[in-house]
């Protein structure tokens, strides 16, 4: 079915152009005309692939989330417990230019998701995926049913989300070195939690 493959390929190309555009220029300036030009389509040429700007945005945020999650999956392979949590955080924290671009897109995304039910669902799905993964590693670290596991999990996710915003809004306090030390502080807290068991 070459035609369908081609269709999916084109959609992916448009989404890749879109997320780079958002990372560089933000979301307010995003319009279908510029996007079509940047992706090498005639004006109006995106319609067969994405009927509305909103449908491009939903696909784009889904794409960035999927790309992050694919990296996480590769990063944590063969690891468990605290080592897996550390590898996971390394894929989310803005430790390089790609991840900083993802962080910029995330900040714009949160803004959109506050007023858009569909985008909010894309975000909720990613958060649920992250919670499920962390739950597994925290059981490996702390055993089943540790009373502090939930607070540790949701605090770690909030720390990472804040680091995404902080690293692109407040770069001085969130250099790569600083982010790694902040992560180490969080991991030490988890290690201490594990040491106090039984």
Using the minimum distance from each CB to a second copy, give the nearer residue, 7 or 185: 185
Using rule CB under 8 A, residue 28 touches a second copy: yes
Among the listed ranges 55-63, 65-73, 81-89, 163-171, the one in contact with a second copy (CB under 8 A) is 163-171
Using rule CB under 8 A, residue 168 touches a second copy: yes
Contact code string over 117-156 relative to a second copy, x by CB under 8 A: ---x--xx--x---x----------------x-xxx-xx-
Q: What's the Cα-to-Cα distance from 91 to each of 54, 102, 132, 160, 180, rounded to whole Å?
A: 27, 11, 16, 10, 12
Using DSSP's 3-state secondary structure scheme, residue 3 falls into helix
Site for a second copy in 79-118 (CB under 8 A): 104, 107-108, 110-111, 113-115
Helix ranges (H only) for 77-116 are: 81-92, 97-113
Degrees, nearest 5: CA angle 103-108-177: 20
Interatomic CA distance for residues 17 and 67, integer angstroms: 14
| Total residues found in the chain within this entry | 198
Using rule CB under 8 A, residue 192 touches a second copy: yes
Closest C-alpha to 108, from 20, 17, 175: 20
Q: Which residues bind a second copy (CB under 8 A)?
A: 25-28, 104, 107-108, 110-111, 113-115, 120, 123-124, 127, 131, 148, 150-152, 154-155, 157-166, 168-170, 173-174, 178, 181-186, 188-189, 192
């Amino acid at each position: 079915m070459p035609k369908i493959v081609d269709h999916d390929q084109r959609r992916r190309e448009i989404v890749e152009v879109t997320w780079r555009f958002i990372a560089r220029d933000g979301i307010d300036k995003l319009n279908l005309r510029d996007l079509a030009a940047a992706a090498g389509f005639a004006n109006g040429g995106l319609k067969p692939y994405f009927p509305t700007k909103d449908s491009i945005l939903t696909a784009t945020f889904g794409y960035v989330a999927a790309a992050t999650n694919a990296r996480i999956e590769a990063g944590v392979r063969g690891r468990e417990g605290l080592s897996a949590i550390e590898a996971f955080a390394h894929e989310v924290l803005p430790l390089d230019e790609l991840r900083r671009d993802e962080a910029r897109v995330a900040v714009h995304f949160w803004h959109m998701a506050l007023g858009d039910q569909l985008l909010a669902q894309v975000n909720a799905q990613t958060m649920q995926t992250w919670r499920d993964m962390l739950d597994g590693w925290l059981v490996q670290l702390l055993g089943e049913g540790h009373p502090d596991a939930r607070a540790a999990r949701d605090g770690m996710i909030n720390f990472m989300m804040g680091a995404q915003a902080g690293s692109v809004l407040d770069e001085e306090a969130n250099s790569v070195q600083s982010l790694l030390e902040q992560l180490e502080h969080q991991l030490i807290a988890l290690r201490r939690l594990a040491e106090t068991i039984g």
